[in-house]
Amino acid sequence: MNFIYPKTPGEAIAGTFRMFGENHVTANLWKLSVAVLAASLAYVFYMLSSEGHAAFNTSSDGVNWGSAIATYVFFALTSSGLTFIASLSTVFGFKQFYPVAKRCIWLAIVTLIAGFAVLALELGHPFRMLWAMPLGMQIRSAMFWMGVFYSIDLVLLFIKFYLLWREDWDSSLSRFVGASSFVAVVLASGMLGLVFGSLAMRPMWFGSATSLFFIISGALSGAAAIVVSVYLAYGFDTRNMPAPLRALKLSDQLPKVFATLIGIVLLFLLTRIWVGLWSNQDGMEGFVALLRAPWFHLEVWVCLALPFLMMLSPSMQVKPRWQVLASVLVLLGMFIERLQFIVAGQNVPMFKGTWMNAVTPYTPSLTEWALVAVGISSALALYALGDRLFNLSDAPKEQAGY
Amino acid sequence: MATWGMVIDLEKCTGCQACTLACGMENNRLPGENWQDVIFFTEGSYPSAQLKWFPRPCQHCENPSCMAVCPTGATFKTADGVVLVDWDKCIGCKYCMVACPYGVRFYTEEKPLVSPDMRKVHASKDEHSWNPPWKMPDAREDWKHGVGIQPHDVVSKCTFCYHRVSMAPPGTPDLDPQDPKLREFTPACVVTCPPGARLFGDLSNPESRVSRMIGDKRGVRLLDQLGNKPQVYYLTGDGGAVPSNRAIDKKA
């Protein structure tokens, strides 16, 4: 879209309100997502004030972490993946990816904020966390380091975005911030993996492979998010795109990266389920439950295997509609993956309660689904806002195609 | 300084759950929120199925994984070996619950296990999560050590009745409920156990009864392979084994 972008904070605030009266894809996305956000947030706040966290279906007797944590992990890892994609041009010099760098950074910021927002509504005492974690200095806790690295990540993303907004694409400072951001995000997403992977008493999660899986599957959901958002920004019509971006979209480079990431994630899932079903170790019973869950099959066959084939097919991989469909399916698949990973890992009860000798059931409550909607709608609303206010299609002059 | 530990003799345990009830009364637990649970399960199938039970308090591990994962330091271990939660520091992230191999931790804000919800019947007007008609004296309540009725949105667990045990005369090898002078310092579940299946004492004192019983009767620990090193020991003998897994039906 060829917007006139605001230059002062006052113009930006005015532009935010003006979007309610505009009629284009970005403004419509903004209006719809703000409406969904307002409704879902109002419902979540009402339920939390009347029922407290008892409005969740999580339980001390089984699944302690439910869909809210899965949503946080989904957004945090998508944010990390977007930073990886941005780093292709800003850190590693693949200049053909410059046209999506600024959009990636903004999306990384908004998805991380959406994740943090959902996490804050899940935590018992989010404000206490702000002082108790820094003062506690629990250096043995993976969650402590996850907080440290994701906080650093968010600050660096803001700095990098500010520099790009000032059209500082390639100064030494800009490159330093980009490289630091890349390191921070590897540590952050890896540490998020270790939050689960460190726990020997949860064999379905245990192991350093969890960390690697989080980093790589994060890159996959980041890649899917940027493909969808770029098409969204140009009304799903490549003719509206600047030439370098169109070249990137219509070449087989992005599909190849995409197919490779899907393939690696599928391999991870296959080897994980193989080990899980083969092993007699106590605590692996959740894999059997996983295999019986229709969601798992939707994820593997429809949301991963199908897009994998689509992005391998020479005739389909360069067609916008198949790219968009593959990306949407992958995003859905990654959300299911986070949910089933977290829930199945806790399905085996730990000497809990009388007569509980099967895997524990868990289905998110309406409040928990509303919290998922809060996450998605807040990310989309902030994304639309950025698209309207900050010229996310910007790129260095030789790449911008103006 | 003592290292408090518990010995549970499975040859004597009858599965009566008096420990569960005494703990609930002493510590003002919600119905179903059993810090001290007795887990019933079946082994084998017809015609040789067996009903089994297994008493399970917090294991107060030497290497508590709940403490290692806590991002704020709310979960801590006292010098006398008891694992506690500081409710003023707990942020309710539930990581400790996920990381405990023994399932002994409880979150306050959950769907009630029995109806009606006692938190609504006896609603609290202050920061407490509920206000039961009978409760321990306010003077004994100690949120820094996770003792009393907890506030909203924190994690709670068995304290080995820290409000009792911490008052014991220094150097006491065993807190024997049969001794009138020590009875009030002994954990409620130990005091109430009708067959006397529970012993409580100083694991660091080789002369204590708990140490001698662990040595003489080959005390074992639950899921010892995980390395948490519980300070709760089980004596098995003819009373059945400590479960080596989580008593789950793989086909279920």
Cα distances from A45 to residues A34, A51, A102, A327, A370, in angstroms, run 16, 10, 34, 32, 10
Cα distances from A305 to residues A75, A257, A298, A316, A400, in angstroms, run 22, 15, 10, 15, 34
- Residues of A with CB below 8 A from B92's CB? 53, 123-125
Phi, psi of B235 (to 5 degrees): -100, 125
Closest C-alpha to A396, from A169, A165, A162 = A169
Rounded CA gap, B234 and B212, in Å?
13
Task: Say what the pLDDT of residue A399 is.
Answer: 58
Rounded CA gap, A235 and A194, in Å?
39
Query: Percent of chain B, pLDDT > 90?
Result: 80
Nearest to A52 among B70, B73, B109 (CB): B109
**Region of poorest pLDDT, from A92-106, B59-73, B233-247:** B233-247
Residue B171 domain-assigned? yes
Specify the residue for token string 């220094």. B170
A124 at the B interface (CB within 8 A)? yes
Cα distances from A24 to residues A3, A116, A380, A381, A384, in angstroms, run 11, 29, 15, 14, 11
Closest C-alpha to B226, from B105, B103, B106 = B103
Phi, psi of B171 (to 5 degrees): 85, 0
Residue A143 near residue A80 (C-beta atoms within 8 A): no
What mean pLDDT do residues B22-36 have?
94
Residue B216 domain-assigned? yes
- Residue B163: which domain range? 4-235
Ranges under pLDDT 70 in chain A: 1-2, 352-358, 398-402
Shortest alpha-carbon distance between residue B181 and chain A (Å): 35
Q: Which domains does chain A have, with CATH numbers?
A: 57-364 (1.20.1630.10)
Residue B119 domain-assigned? yes
Shortest alpha-carbon distance between residue B54 and chain A (Å): 9
ipTM for the whole complex:
0.94
What mean pLDDT do residues B90-103 have?
95
Residue B72 near residue A133 (C-beta atoms within 8 A): yes
Given CA atoms A375, A376, A381, A387 in this order, what sign does their dihedral have? positive
Specify the residue for token string 């519980």. B230
- Local structure of B3: helix, strand or coil: coil
Contacts of A87 (CB under 8 A, 6+ apart): A178, A181, A182
Residue B240 domain-assigned? no
Given CA atoms B76, B81, B83, B89 in this order, what sign does their dihedral have? negative
Segment 350-379 of chain A within 8 Å of chain B by CB: 350-359
Shortest alpha-carbon distance between residue B20 and chain A (Å): 12
A124 to B244: CB separation less than 8 angstroms, yes or no: no
Specify the residue for token string 């067959």. B195
Rounded CA gap, A226 and A135, in Å?
37
Residue B83 domain-assigned? yes
pLDDT at B247 over 80: no
B93 to A136: CB separation less than 8 angstroms, yes or no: no
pLDDT at B241 over 80: no
**AA letter at B60:** H
Shortest alpha-carbon distance between residue A278 and chain B (Å): 13
Shortest alpha-carbon distance between residue B105 and chain A (Å): 7
A386 at the B interface (CB within 8 A)? no
B252 to A346: CB separation less than 8 angstroms, yes or no: no
Task: Say what the pLDDT of residue A395 is.
Answer: 82
Residue B22 domain-assigned? yes
A319 at the B interface (CB within 8 A)? no
Contacts of B104 (CB under 8 A, 6+ apart): A351, B35, B56, B57, B58, B59, B157, B158
What mean pLDDT do residues B78-90 have?
97
Rounded CA gap, B122 and A282, in Å?
41
Residue B62 domain-assigned? yes
Nearest to A124 among B111, B154, B223 (CB): B154
Contacts of A35 (CB under 8 A, 6+ apart): none
Closest C-alpha to A129, from B93, B100, B146, B83 = B93
pLDDT at B202 over 60: yes
Nearest to B245 among A195, A282, A358 (CB): A282
Rounded CA gap, B113 and B109, in Å?
11
Residue A112 near residue A157 (C-beta atoms within 8 A): yes
Checking phi first, is residue A353 left (phi over 0); if not, alpha (psi -120 to 50) or beta? left
A138 to B72: CB separation less than 8 angstroms, yes or no: yes
Q: Within its chain, how far is the Cα of B9 from the centroid?
A: 15
A147 at the B interface (CB within 8 A)? yes
Residue A335 near residue A73 (C-beta atoms within 8 A): no
What mean pLDDT do residues B185-190 have?
98
- Residues of B with CB below 8 A from A70's CB? none
A151 at the B interface (CB within 8 A)? no
Closest C-alpha to A83, from A167, A166, A183, A169 = A183
Count of domains in chain B?
A: 1
Residue B210 or A317, more confident = B210
Rounded CA gap, A290 and A273, in Å?
9
- Residues of A with CB below 8 A from B110's CB? 53-54, 56, 58-60
Task: Say what the pLDDT of residue A2 is.
Answer: 65
- Residues of B with CB below 8 A from A199's CB? 65, 69, 98-99
A350 to B103: CB separation less than 8 angstroms, yes or no: yes
Helices (H), chain B: 18-27, 65-69, 95-99, 118-121, 162-165, 188-192, 209-216
Checking phi first, is residue A277 left (phi over 0); if not, alpha (psi -120 to 50) or beta? alpha
- Residues of B with CB below 8 A from A125's CB? 90-92, 153-154
Question: CATH code at B115?
Answer: 3.30.70.20
Nearest CA in chain B to A48: B109
- Local structure of A270: helix, strand or coil: helix
Q: Within its chain, how far is the Cα of B34 from the centroid?
A: 9
Nearest to B250 among A132, A285, A354 (CB): A285
A65 at the B interface (CB within 8 A)? yes
A352 to B39: CB separation less than 8 angstroms, yes or no: yes
A358 to B101: CB separation less than 8 angstroms, yes or no: no
Nearest to A357 among B100, B223, B247 (CB): B247
pLDDT band at B252 (very low <50, low <70, confident <90, very high): very low
What's chain A's Rg over C-alpha atoms?
21
CB pairs under 8 A between A and B: 167
Residue A401 near residue A243 (C-beta atoms within 8 A): yes
Residue B74 near residue B86 (C-beta atoms within 8 A): yes
A347 at the B interface (CB within 8 A)? no
B65 to A201: CB separation less than 8 angstroms, yes or no: yes
Looking at mean pLDDT, say which of A86-100, B14-28, B37-51 comes out highest.
Answer: B14-28
What mean pLDDT do residues B135-143 have?
90
Residue B247 domain-assigned? no
Phi, psi of A193 (to 5 degrees): -65, -40
Give the CB-side neighbour count of residue B25, counting CA atoms within 13 A. 11
Burial (CB < 10 A; 0-12, 13-18, 19+), residue A101, is buried
